[in-house]
Chains A and B, each alone.
Chain A
Amino acid sequence: MCLCINLKGRKQKKKLTRQTVIETVTDRISCLPSHVIDHILSYLPIREAVRTSVLSKIWKNKWYTLPNLVFDRQGVFSEDALVNQSKLVKIVDHVLLVHSGPINMFKFSEYDLIDEVLVSDIDRWILHLTGRFIIKFVLEVLMEEKEEYYKIPWCLFSCQSLHYLKLQWCWLKPPKEFGGFRNLTSLDLNLVTMTQDVFENLISGCPLLEKLKLTEVDGLTQINIHAPNLKIFEVFGEFEGIRFHNTFQLVTVIVDSRLNLSPENNLRTLHGRSSKLLDFFDRRPHLQSLVIGSCFLKV
């Protein structure tokens, strides 16, 4: 039983004390609109949010409109639970099946090696999510074969609702007609593999891109960036040089290499890089912060 009394605009015939308010309406939280409850639930791990189903009939469906769906080991199970992946798949399927309303974010992180069965499940989820106008998508997986990466299915490349994309251990090979993500503002690629062409088309096809982070991206030697709105650029890993085209809004640039290059190799590549950095300074009027990793400072 849930009693809700809207006191707004109601003439007060008697003095209302805090006590009388509490007595007449014992459970005002349950009566709040779903977006307000979603707000509380969004601060809970998904396991906790879904468990509120058992509170009462009015709560049974409340989590169905949860805007952010985060599936990682901590969120789905308690810390040290040893659970096989088929159970994880069932849980994600269950949540996606009953979830209604917009999905703001979907995140799936699995640091146990994933097998081929899970690969096809992830493909399936991505297909489902692209039809739900998802705004943020995060995928962090580790493949069974060390050299193998999860191949992003083509349907994701047609998902124009994306504003935020973060991928780890993935292989990006979009269809030929791929023209970029028109609404993407933030891109974070970690241990991703792709060709030089794919990278350049991707970046120039995201005109609103403001934040780009590249960590150990495989397949790039020369990083060419054409991003008129880019403000924050971070790059970690192995590459020959960076070149910016029509990218004048940069505020923060962080460049670092964690590689242990051999002395002669180090020297040769660094000469090339230093000259590019000089050129770079001349044309960045908004630049406020530039961090260069230790390898580069030896010049």
Chain B
Amino acid sequence: MAEEVSSQMNSLSISETNPSSSATISLVSGDDIVFKVEPTIAKEMETVQSFIDETDGKITTIPLPNISSHDLPYVIEYCEKSIAGKITKEFEAEFVKKLNNEEVKELFLAANYLNIKKLLDFLSQVIADRIANKSVEYVRRYFGIENDFTPEEEAKLREELAWTFTGVDPDDEDEN
């Protein structure tokens, strides 16, 4: 697990090289919490690695404004397991058990932003599993989608795509 260091500095001033921590990479979450990780972890995150490469490794503090300190540890945990070659079905099942729908979505966005292919594949499957056989209304709520069809437009579309509405589960209360 990454060492968490609460930082009072803002993310601009810490984007400087700090010689004492050159061995590790500092990832700064959107809410200004610094996570120190091994360079091998950064390699898993293509976006971070290309940032490091572009600056010839001089900058080792990377601001990740889109990712909160709540979600970043999950990403780091997954990357650590991935490097150790310990991504098993059991690990993934345990990992996903800890996550509510909101967290799954946030991690998916984080994996996309950081360009971590394995995590993105895994979370795509998780999201697909969670919306499979669910009603249109459920999926709208799941993604936070605002329905911008007029009732007539929607009715017409539902009629055209009637074959896709077979086997939809009734909505339940367990949405998170």
20 contacts between A and B (CB under 8 A): A7-B65, A12-B12, A16-B31, A18-B31, A18-B69, A18-B71, A21-B66, A27-B145, A29-B109, A29-B145, A39-B120, A39-B124, A44-B132, A48-B128, A51-B136, A54-B149, A54-B154, A55-B140, A56-B146, A77-B163
Size bracket of the A interface: 35 or more
Q: Which of B34-42, B76-84, B86-94, B164-172 contacts A (4 or more CB under 8 A)?
A: B164-172
A59 to B147, CA, bound (A): 10
Identify which of B65, B108, B132 gathers the most chain A CB atoms within 10 Å of its CB: B65
A52 to B145, CA, bound (A): 11
Instruction: Give the docked Cα–Cα distance between A29 and B111 (Å).
Output: 12
**Interface residues, chain B, CB within 8 Å of chain A?**
10-12, 30-32, 63, 65-66, 68-71, 102, 105-106, 108-109, 112-113, 120-121, 124-125, 127-129, 131-133, 136, 139-140, 143-149, 154, 157-158, 161, 163-167
Do A48 and B146 touch across chains, with their CB atoms under 8 A apart? no
Instruction: Pick from A1, A21, A36: contact of B148, CB below 8 A.
Output: A1
A32 within 8 A of B: yes
Check A27–B163 contact: CB distance below 8 A.
Answer: no
Interface residues as binary, A43-78 with B (CB distance below 8 Å gives 1, 0 otherwise): 111011011111111111000000000000000111
Asked if B157 contacts A40 (CB within 8 A), the reply is: no
User: A76's closest neighbor in chain B, by CB?
Assistant: B163
Bound complex: CA of A29 vs CA of B101, how far in Å?
13
| Across the A-B interface, the 8 shortest Cβ-Cβ residue pairs | A78-B167, A18-B68, A43-B128, A51-B164, A7-B65, A16-B30, A27-B144, A78-B166
Which of B63, B112, B128 makes the CB contact (< 8 A) with A36?
B112
